[in-house]
Amino acid sequence: MAKIIAFDEKARRGLEGGMNQLADAVKVTLGPKGRNVVLEKKWGAPTITNDGVSIAKEIELEDPYEKIGAELVKEVAKKTDDVAGDGTTTATVLAQALVKEGLRNVAAGANPMALKRGIEKAVEAVSGALLEQAKDVETKEQIASTASISAADTQIGELIAEAMDKVGKEGVITVEEFQTFGLELELTEGMGFDKGYISAYFATDMERMEASLDDPYILIANSKIGNVKDLLPLLEKVMQSGKPLLIIAEDVEGEALSTLVVNKIRGTFKSVAVKAPGFGDRRKAMLGDIAILTGGEVISEEVGLKLENAGLDLLGRARKVVITKDETTIVDGAGDTDQVNGRVAQIRAEIENSDSDYDREKLQERLANVAGGVAVIKAGAATEVELKERKERKHRIEDAVRNAKAAVEEGIVAGGGVALLQASQVFEKLELTGDEATGANAVKLALEAPLKQIPSTAVSRAAWSWRRCATSPWATA
């Protein structure tokens, strides 16, 4: 396929045009009086939403340069949603304002690389200032309040706080669609780890880019799997059972990986391959934890078990497994309760006997995984009308969970763009010159954008002064 190439001002203006079209559609939702946006769907009725990342995902532009610009801002919104669960519209407004100022200065003759260095130094300083402003979120009531704001639902906020109280602040909380009304919280045995699928082709939900396996077999191997001949006997047995398969191994590559992917795409056999968490001895220990929680065995030649000879009796089981590109969550493993309790006692003994702070920290993480379990929020609907929108409700709860965890980890600051404006006072301490100072000033101007945008989306545009917010005492109360 032929490539279209553009340089200098033409390329920059094309990118900016795409960014502006997407950002203008998203930013009308900002603030307490933000508007809703109607999204046309390829199938079914239109969707009405004020969620920034949902709007961004639906925007497709025809012009190739504008399309690239829009994709850049989409990535900003998506990354913010993945990390914080909220603030996607604010991030989009900041990105638009920063690009506008940056391109204006480049057109005026500023050095782009010097601008970049100035922007990076300014962003680092502002991030530090925001963390200094942040107030800790520690109590159950504070967590509930934070999650309630994100989900725009008090009941959801209280349920998330209850879930975090039960599994701990580092615990695993997952959300499932439920075939009835209301919300339920269920605590089950399970665990999560920070490794996702090896190939995106394993995803079963392309919109969320996640794979969900119901009642799967779980193969746990402390080695690389590359030769499909070693894997075929076991694959045939699992296929005959009619169950999906989760493979957790040091790596899955070559013929073995391509065979799994091809069968998944054709719909012949549903499976997901995931890299094992950790390294060295820690990986062995974590694979052992997974095996005990799921009732399986670690396939390793060290203990005389070979992949080509493995049967279904050596595989683990779980009620459900959810895999994204970054993490895997195993819900309700089929492990024996006595063995799980024994593993918990063993890890606690290792913590007591450890002299290394690092080792103790990693053992604490394992203990939380094995003993803490998984909190499952079952999302139904309050009315028959909401029952049709259960998927959107599930996504809203997932965002609120990420939001609450981010608040617990780093704290909260004043909303409405006020904290950003106050953080800009740190620029007085930055000693930058030339185009680096120009880059820092672009960040300073961008920080004003969210607070300026909020009144413009309100139906009643009362007189206001954004400059007063920078020093107002209530803004830091």
* Residue-range domains of the chain with CATH: 8-135+414-476 (1.10.560.10), 136-189+373-412 (3.30.260.10), 191-335 (3.50.7.10)
Q: Is 374 exposed, middle or buried (0-12, 13-18, 19+ CB in 10 A)?
A: buried
> How many Cα atoms are found within 13 Å in the side-chain-facing hemisphere of 222?
23
Q: Find out whether 171 is annotated in a ligand binding site.
A: no
The model's confidence at residue 192, banded by pLDDT at 50, 70 and 90, is: confident
Classify 311 as helix, strand or coil: coil
Distance of CA 259 to CAs 219, 226, 278, Å? 16, 10, 26
Provide the whole-model pTM: 0.75
Q: Find out whether 174 is annotated in a ligand binding site.
A: no
The model's confidence at residue 373, banded by pLDDT at 50, 70 and 90, is: confident
Give the residue, 180 or 58, on which the prediction is more confident.
58
The reported pLDDT for the residue numbered 93 is: 95
* Dihedral, CA of residue 363, residue 368, residue 371 and residue 376, to nearest 10: -150
The model's confidence at residue 176, banded by pLDDT at 50, 70 and 90, is: confident
Closest by CA position to 17, among listed 77, 48, 59, 80:
59
Q: To the nearest whole percent, how much of the chain has pLDDT over 90?
A: 52
The reported pLDDT for the residue numbered 212 is: 93
* Whether the predicted pLDDT of 129 surpasses 80: yes
Q: CA 395, CA 398: separation in Å to the nearest integer?
A: 5
Give the residue, 350 or 172, on which the prediction is more confident.
350
Q: What is the mean pLDDT of the chain?
A: 87
The number of beta carbons lying within 10 Å of the beta carbon of residue 444 is 19
Q: What angle is formed at CA 213 by the lines to CA 182 and CA 192, rounded to 5 degrees?
A: 80
The reported pLDDT for the residue numbered 465 is: 54
Q: What angle is formed at CA 34 by the lines to CA 32 and CA 38, rounded to 5 degrees?
A: 140
DSSP one-letter string for 405-459: HHHHHH-B--TTTHHHHHHGGGGGG----HHHHHHHHHHHHHHHHHHHHHHHHSS
* Whether the predicted pLDDT of 474 surpasses 80: no
What's the pLDDT tens digit per position in 357-372? 888 888 888 887 887 7
Phi, psi torsion values for 214, nearest 5 degrees: -100, 130
The reported pLDDT for the residue numbered 462 is: 47
The model's confidence at residue 468, banded by pLDDT at 50, 70 and 90, is: low
The reported pLDDT for the residue numbered 291 is: 94
* Whether the predicted pLDDT of 460 surpasses 60: no
The reported pLDDT for the residue numbered 472 is: 56
What's the pLDDT tens digit per position in 304-344? 888 988 899 999 999 999 999 988 999 888 989 899 889 98
The model's confidence at residue 477, banded by pLDDT at 50, 70 and 90, is: very low
Q: Find out whether 47 is annotated in a ligand binding site.
A: no
The model's confidence at residue 459, banded by pLDDT at 50, 70 and 90, is: low
The model's confidence at residue 381, banded by pLDDT at 50, 70 and 90, is: low
* Whether the predicted pLDDT of 387 surpasses 60: no
The model's confidence at residue 174, banded by pLDDT at 50, 70 and 90, is: confident
Q: Find out whether 88 is annotated in a ligand binding site.
A: yes
* Whether the predicted pLDDT of 235 surpasses 90: yes
Helices 112-133, 88-107: inter-axial angle, 10-degree rounding? 150
* Whether the predicted pLDDT of 52 surpasses 50: yes
Q: Name the least confident of 43-47, 244-248, 295-299, 459-463.
A: 459-463
* Whether the predicted pLDDT of 389 surpasses 70: no
Q: Find out whether 87 is annotated in a ligand binding site.
A: yes
Q: Name the least confident of 35-44, 213-222, 245-254, 467-476.
A: 467-476
Q: Name the least confident of 66-80, 162-176, 262-276.
A: 162-176
Q: To the nearest whole percent, how much of the chain has pLDDT over 70?
A: 93
* Whether the predicted pLDDT of 378 surpasses 90: no
Q: CA 105, CA 82: separation in Å to the nearest integer?
A: 31
What's the pLDDT tens digit per position in 4-32? 888 888 888 999 999 999 999 999 999 88
Q: Find out whether 30 is annotated in a ligand binding site.
A: yes
Give the residue, 5 or 382, on which the prediction is more confident.
5
